[in-house]
Structure 1
């Protein structure tokens, strides 16, 4: 039997996940994107042009999945495919001005949201919360790597 406090904490984390996902889906849809496409636009806008292989590795998805995402993003004007300057076989996924502008706005909105979410916390309470999040991430990583999840 599990500890009821543990179950309550997990339930709260699932609620937070649901709320964050809903928020991301709504904001993405307003830009003509999906939650799956946002990370591609974000990565090429913040880290510079990348090959599809680099994107697939960074996002932990298959090459086929990235190809489909980039096809749609290119069709909708968020990215372009440009020749790689050193590898004739590769192309670089590059943000268009439209894609870069959306990523810049997302960064501003994320900073504003972060401030509104955490600005009224007492510093010690926030530090404790952040340490707790680190412990959860570390524990989940350990469980996943061990194959226990």
Structure 2
């Protein structure tokens, strides 16, 4: 049976409103977590990228985070000053410098990962597996459509 737009129990506008509310709450939680670690969102993103990818050149960090090389330089400078990262010579390219986590940076990203795990458990730990799978499939579709809208400039 095909339902008309007015017969749908939940409208697309209501779904979008829920996504906005979810996004706002996640950002509030993220900001609180970053404040506890004394990090900005941008600095945390650099650490997170290094945590997942290992040592990277500043150019690779810039590309991965979609920010300017100048921005990455400032972020890495501040992270290095605070003892989260260190710059080292690249083992095979004399011209390149690698950015790597220090022990403090690795411990901080470990705390970030543990916090993300706890948060995921709080949100989804009691959701039945089939509902969680359906939720993830739905979000995957929404994310793919949003990427298309953003890339095409139709937003």
Same fold (TM over 0.5): yes
Structure 2 gap segments, 5+ residues each: none
Partner of 2:66: 60
Matched, 1:147 2:135: no
Per-residue CA deviations over 1:103-141 (Å, capped at 9, x if unaligned) read: 111112211221221111122222211111011011011
Q: 6, 10, 34: which one pairs with 2:16? A: 10
- In 1, the alpha carbon distance for the partners of 2:53 and 2:107 equals 14
Q: 1:120 aligns with which of 105, 122, 126?
A: 126
User: For 1:10-89, what aligned pairs fall within 5 Å after superposition?
Assistant: 10-89=16-95
Once residues 30 and 100 of structure 2 are traced to their aligned partners in structure 1, the CA distance between those partners, rounded to angstroms, is 22
Segments of 4+ in structure 1 off by > 6 A? none
More displaced 10-residue stretch of structure 1: 21-30 or 4-13: 4-13
Query: What is the number of residues matched between the two proteins?
Result: 148
TM-score normalised according to structure 2 size: 0.89
Q: 2:110 aligns with which of 104, 114, 117?
A: 104
SS of structure 2 residue aligned to 1:36: helix
Q: Decide which structure has the larger Cα Rg and report it.
A: 2
What is the CA-CA distance between 1:46 and the residue it aligns to?
2.8
**Superposition RMSD on alpha carbons, in Å?**
1.6
Task: Name structure 1 gaps, 5 residues minimum.
Answer: none
